[in-house]
Structure 1
Amino acid sequence: MPLPPIDPDYLTDQLKALLAIASPTGYTDEAVWSLCRELNALGVDYELTRRGAIRARIKGETQGSARALVAHVDTLGAQVKRIKQTGRLELVPIGHWSSRFAEGARVTVFGEETRVRGTILPLKASGHTFNEEVDAQPVAWTQVELRLDAPVFSRDDVLKLGLDVGDIVAIDPQPEFIDNGFIVSRHLDDKAGVASLMAALKALKTHEVNGRPPVDLYFLITIAEEVGLGASSVLVPDVASMVTIDNGTTAPGQNSSEFGVTLAMADQTGPFDWHLTNKLARLAREQDIPFQKDVFRYYRSDSASALEAGADIRTALITFGVDASHGYERVHLDALVSVARLAVAYALSPVEIERDREPVSGPEGFTHQPLDDSGPE
């Protein structure tokens, strides 16, 4: 059966809109509001958790053994660690990323009732003053500081400006959408994933007149994945399987690509569900969606946080290959459309493990894995 088509212009517009909204972990409210407005426009039912994670639903033919697709809207960022006597700000990162990629970044500091622009600079930023010492500085967050674009020359000046320790620092994304399909921006992790998720949702809503998904389908958007919390508190008990959408790590030694879907077989928390992952590979082949497989050694996602919180669900991870992840990121629109297509294929596919409708049951209907011909029966 042909899939309902993905609208690449809609996907791109959603990504542009999300990138325009600062949403480092801990400062995601406005991104959530933007997504809520879009869900209203699409006519999709949804609800929010106390802190703002989104749980949208398309009703299926039956309710048991529900499925979920999840992506996160929070991004990397920083916080003010200390206000120096010079009026410069010491920072600590939000999420795990190198200060190497913070140097030179334009930023906004959000105080309680004010916002101030600035730049993250190495401690020795002037070549005319420090000469070769500029190139000899270590790479560490203690080796950078934030210069505010305001007349501040002391700690008291900063406090009078309305800023203080703990204030959130949002890093400018500086997006560029190139005519050949490449997209270069910070925070593609995981705003590109959310845009793909929304494009899949739009396709499914358009298709709804031709039939519902076989089971209830939840679209989850989390707000604290970059600090490890992710999908730990957004699932409902009906969900039996969850597919996470996030970035893949295109780099030397990896099998990820900026084109097609990169299907993650494992990350640092271990292998993903064998049956669900192989189902996604089969769906990709059936729908002629280009894909490759990869293993991520220094990586975790919303799947990990859900399992660690005690959710007994099958999980898998489909990714769009990002070059220079957690740095100056780049992806191709082809990957984002491919991910959205696979998400739709999964949503419309028949349920194959009927036993998963119940949280606990006897062995009847439990899955098998292929046995080696030489092994015991």
Structure 2
Amino acid sequence: MKYDINKKYIIKILKELLTIPSPSGFCHEIMKKIKNEVNDLGYEFYMTNKGCGVITIPGKNDNYIIGLSAHVDTLGAMVRSIKDSGMIRFTPIGGYMMNTVECEYCKIHTRSGKIYDGTILTTKPSVHVYSDAKDQKREELNMEIRIDEIVNSKEDVEKLGISVGDFISFDSRTVIKENGFIKSRHLDDKAGVAVLFGFMEILKRNKITPNNTIKIFISTYEEIGHGSSYIPKEIDELIAIDMGAIGDDLNCTEFDVSICAKDSSGPYDYNMVSRLINLAKKHNLQFSVDIYPNYGSDVSAALKAGNNIRGALIGPGVHASHSIERTHIDALINTTKLISAYILETEN
């Protein structure tokens, strides 16, 4: 690939995105960041009614519009009820195992704008007190949040302004190591968003006008299944940039760009997947092709909503998805190179 990838820029954007809480449905602050960054790059940006972002990169022709998507929304929770003890019961946003958030620091975001710190615990958090603490089932009923305020009752919590329906975000715990490893919550899919900014930075820095007009869709409800159920109707094909899963029976590593052939929604477009594979080979990228039976993407949502598009899914390999995730900068670079090659070598 003849265009250099600005690794420092990608890492900078990723780190900034990971510091902004954005559970599904609570993405107003992070979308301000997205808008400002897009404006700095000089591209057109607008928001849909439900808060997703659309970035337009003009091409040499408008006969065939290529869409790219990634989501900024993450896993999180919401206040379900306030207990008489002053502890908070929560309901999850997104699909995760309760044991992955046990002992995690969190923030409660009130609708008045106040933010309170807390810790997610089981209802039997001490082995010194509860003989069955180790065996207690990690499920919603047995989890609660301890607030870092002086509260001893439901009324004390309510006086703080905390109410049922307030959003709860998890500490991202981001660490970017000198050897290239990146470990954090919410790499799904803020790593994908950082890749798209890396791609846009290439176009801006090299003053490139792609052959086709590009529409980049930033989704804010992907984790709950309807992120890109609406996309601009002029889009002809859509590639989701989302994390590649790692585990038994899978080829993907933390250094790869993953090309998904099929997920829970079914196979992706044959010609698009084939072209992505051929481009990865042509440019000597580290890549894998996998099938993800427990996975859905923004392309899945767009297809299920009846959009008349072709679709594909790629993304950086991420270990321990929906937990304390880890990837490597090489995976983000390989993904940026692949999507850049796909766009810049397309002549529809």
TM-score bin, normalised by smaller chain: over 0.9
Match of 1:213 among 210, 213, 222: 210
Corresponding residue of 2:337: 341
Give the TM-score normalised by the residue count of structure 1. Answer: 0.90
Q: Which amino acid is the alignment partner of residue 207 of structure 1?
A: N
Q: Which amino acid is the alignment partner of residue 273 of structure 1?
A: D
Unaligned runs of 5+ in 2: none
Deviation at 1:351, TM superposition (A): 3.2
Residue 293 (1) aligns with residue 292 (2) = no
* Aligned mates of 2:19, 2:74 — CA distance in 1: 12
Deviation at 1:99, TM superposition (A): 0.6
Q: Percent identity?
A: 36
Deviation at 1:3, TM superposition (A): 3.5
Secondary structure class of the residue paired with 2:243: strand
Residues 3-31 of structure 1, C-alpha deviations (whole Å, 9 max, x = no match): 42211100000011001100001110110
Residues 48-77 of structure 1, C-alpha deviations (whole Å, 9 max, x = no match): 112321111111111011001110000000
Q: Determine if contact 1:29/1:52 at 8 Å carries over to the other structure.
A: yes
Residue 125 (1) aligns with residue 125 (2) = yes
Residue 228 (1) aligns with residue 243 (2) = no
Aligned pairs for 1:153-302 (under 5 A) are 153-208=152-207, 211-233=208-230, 235-302=231-298
Q: Which has the larger radius of gyration?
A: 1
* Aligned mates of 1:73, 1:350 — CA distance in 2: 27
Give the TM-score normalised by the residue count of structure 2. Answer: 0.98
Residues 320-362 of structure 1, C-alpha deviations (whole Å, 9 max, x = no match): 111110001000110011111111111112235xxxxxxxxxx
* Aligned mates of 2:95, 2:63 — CA distance in 1: 37
* Aligned mates of 1:290, 1:244 — CA distance in 2: 19
Q: Which amino acid is the alignment partner of residue 179 of structure 2?
A: N
Deviation at 1:253, TM superposition (A): 2.1
Q: Determine if contact 1:184/1:330 at 8 Å carries over to the other structure.
A: yes
Corresponding residue of 1:38: 37
* Aligned mates of 1:178, 1:272 — CA distance in 2: 34
Corresponding residue of 1:367: none
Deviation at 1:141, TM superposition (A): 1.5
Secondary structure class of the residue paired with 1:179: coil
Unaligned runs of 5+ in 1: 353-377
Corresponding residue of 2:50: 51
* Aligned mates of 2:256, 2:206 — CA distance in 1: 23
Q: Which amino acid is the alignment partner of residue 307 of structure 1?
A: L
What is the RMSD of the two structures over their aligned residues, measured on CA atoms? 1.1
Q: Determine if contact 1:204/1:344 at 8 Å carries over to the other structure.
A: no
Secondary structure class of the residue paired with 1:318: strand
Q: Determine if contact 1:4/1:204 at 8 Å carries over to the other structure.
A: no
Residues 27-53 of structure 1, C-alpha deviations (whole Å, 9 max, x = no match): 101100001111111111111112321
Residues 87-110 of structure 1, C-alpha deviations (whole Å, 9 max, x = no match): 101111101111111101100001
Q: Which amino acid is the alignment partner of residue 216 of structure 2?
A: F
Deviation at 1:248, TM superposition (A): 1.2
Q: Determine if contact 1:3/1:345 at 8 Å carries over to the other structure.
A: no
Secondary structure class of the residue paired with 1:127: coil
Q: Determine if contact 2:252/2:287 at 8 Å carries over to the other structure.
A: no
Q: Which amino acid is the alignment partner of residue 32 of structure 2?
A: W
Q: Aligned pair count?
A: 347
Corresponding residue of 2:133: 134
* Aligned mates of 1:308, 1:261 — CA distance in 2: 25
* Aligned mates of 1:44, 1:82 — CA distance in 2: 43
Deviation at 1:285, TM superposition (A): 1.3
Deviation at 1:165, TM superposition (A): 0.8
* Aligned mates of 1:237, 1:78 — CA distance in 2: 32
Match of 2:319 among 309, 317, 323: 323
Q: Determine if contact 1:118/1:147 at 8 Å carries over to the other structure.
A: yes
